[in-house]
Amino acid sequence: MNTSVHTSPPQHAVVSPDQWLKERKALLAREKELLRLQDQIARERRALPWTRIDKPYTFDTPEGPRALADLFEGRGQLIVQHFMLGAGWEQGCPSCSFMADHTDGMTVHLAQRDIAFVAVSHAPLVEIARFRQRMGWKFRWVSSHGSDFNHDFHVSFTPEEEARGEVYYNYRMQPFEIDELPGISVFVKNGAGEVFHTYSAYRRGVEAMMGTYHLIDLTPRGRDEDALSYPMAWVRHHDRYEPAPVPAPAGACCQAHA
């Protein structure tokens, strides 16, 4: 079923070019305020203290078992996408896949800034490889199956937590939803090979990877999700979308009723 909402643009005032320019400049001043605030928050994010990773996490990779420090691949910084793909799942989460669709074009640029990227999922590597091949992605993707990594970063939950009905996610206790949830974590490695956790984001914080949303937000209808059962209900795996509707030629409706 196609849950996309295709409606006419909302009714807006139509004004002269001079009036439009006046109002656009007023909005530009607000946009600049937002950019300055984003820059300030980025500085505060970089100033956060670090915590050393002492637990010896091991990941299953196509090259064999690897430690967290190995995932940096010689770089000093590492971004991890906590990708929702649990053991036995037929396919990965559509929203996490939406995030991942943006990744392959970014990794070459991240590497120029001393940043490695890896997706980590709780599913066994063979299940990751099968879905990765289907989606045609090239970015590095490893398995934390058998490791505490996902649990320690609060994106996978145990049957005991599920039975309790509450889990710790996004820095607070909240009702259990599903045994896997999304996130992004950032790590840094020093010259001595020590690894530190510097940042993690969950919920809407993962929109940092969703460049499509940033473009959608520029359009008159914006995200247009109010009528959906939940905000991202329209998102599909990129090989599961129905063809986009083809607009009728101008005047076709009138000709049909002539």
pLDDT computed for residue 254 by the predictor: 44
Question: Please, which residues have CB within 8 angstroms of residue 74's CB and are 6 or more apart in sequence?
Answer: 116
Instruction: Indicate the pairing of strand 166-169 with strand 172-175.
Output: antiparallel
Q: Note whether residue 219 is domain-resident.
A: no
Q: Note whether residue 201 is domain-resident.
A: yes
Q: Domain residues for 115? A: 50-211
- Name the DSSP letter for residue 204: G
Q: Note whether residue 227 is domain-resident.
A: no
Distance CA 185, CA 192 (A): 21
Instruction: Indicate the pairing of strand 195-201 with strand 51-52.
Output: antiparallel
Strand order in the sheet with 183-189: 51-52, 195-201, 183-189, 77-82, 115-121, 141-143, 58-61, 64-67
In the numeric block, which tokens belong to residue 212? Answer: 């499509």
Q: Note whether residue 152 is domain-resident.
A: yes
pLDDT computed for residue 11 by the predictor: 78
- Name the DSSP letter for residue 206: G
pTM score, whole prediction: 0.89
Q: Note whether residue 92 is domain-resident.
A: yes
Distance CA 18, CA 24 (A): 10
Q: Note whether residue 223 is domain-resident.
A: no
pLDDT computed for residue 5 by the predictor: 52
Contact 117, 81 (CB under 8 A): yes
Instruction: Indicate the pairing of strand 77-82 with strand 64-67.
Output: unpaired
Alpha helices in the chain (DSSP H): 17-46, 94-100, 104-111, 125-135, 149-152, 159-164, 211-216, 252-256
DSSP string of 171-186? TEEEE---SB--EEEE
- Going residue by residue through the chain, which has 258 residues, state the pLDDT in tens, using 9 for 90 and above: 444 555 566 678 999 999 999 999 999 999 999 999 999 999 999 999 999 999 999 999 999 999 999 999 999 999 999 999 999 999 999 999 999 999 999 999 999 999 999 999 999 999 999 999 999 999 999 999 999 999 999 999 989 998 999 999 999 999 998 999 999 999 999 999 999 999 999 999 999 999 999 999 999 999 999 999 999 999 999 999 988 776 666 554 444 444
pLDDT computed for residue 244 by the predictor: 74
Q: Note whether residue 188 is domain-resident.
A: yes
Q: How many domains does the chain have?
A: 1
Distance CA 7, CA 195 (A): 50
What 3-state class would DSSP assign to 161?
helix
In this structure, the dihedral spanned by the alpha carbons of residues 109, 111, 116 and 117, taken in order and rounded to 10 degrees, is 20
18: left (phi over 0), alpha (psi -120 to 50) or beta: alpha
CATH number for the domain spanning 137: value is 3.40.30.10
